[in-house]
Amino acid sequence: MDLQELITTIEADEQRLTFPRFTEADAWRLGSLLVALAGDRGLPVAVDIRRGRQQLFHAALPGSSADNDAWIERKVRVVYRFAASSFLVGRRLEAKGRDLDASMGVDPARYAAHGGAFPIRVPGVGVVGVVTVSGLPQADDHALVVEAVETFLGDPASA
């Protein structure tokens, strides 16, 4: 898939994968699902879910480190700043031959346009939170989050 096709796919996923609401219980179920998926596959990731400024879920699986937590912070800032997944922001910049830097009004030490942070969007409200995975190559971090959100939203208990 070329870069423009990838961007189109990510944009479509973000439009499609919206939440009717997002509660503390939803964060627990989604986070637990991500931990189960990653644990079953032996993936060395950290998982983080926030609503607004409040961290509702965090887990560090074997093989992850505090460095993953630092990456989570940087990716989350991108989602809140640009109202799009960190992977989408990075791919849009790549398509324009640009980097996320001071010319965009951000400090690259505090922001990372690398895959893994996905917006929790509620129709009529906007981005209310972020679900993030860190520890894999960025496309894999992003894919794991998308897989979990798709599964979660397909679960009648989450409706």
pLDDT value at position 158? 63
Query: Domain tally for the chain?
Result: 1
Contact status, residue 133 vs residue 38, Cβ threshold 8 Å: yes
For 154, counting Cβ atoms within 10 Å of its Cβ (0-12 exposed, 13-18 middle, 19+ buried), the class is exposed
- Residue 76 sits in a domain whose CATH number is 3.30.450.150
Q: Cβ–Cβ contacts within 10 Å for residue 58, how many?
A: 14
pLDDT value at position 159? 58
Contact status, residue 86 vs residue 134, Cβ threshold 8 Å: no
pLDDT truncated to tens, each residue of the chain (159 aa)? 899 999 999 999 999 999 999 999 999 999 999 999 999 999 999 999 999 999 999 999 999 999 999 999 999 999 999 999 999 999 999 999 999 988 888 999 999 999 999 999 999 999 999 999 999 999 999 999 999 999 999 976 665
Residue 54 lies in domain: 3-158
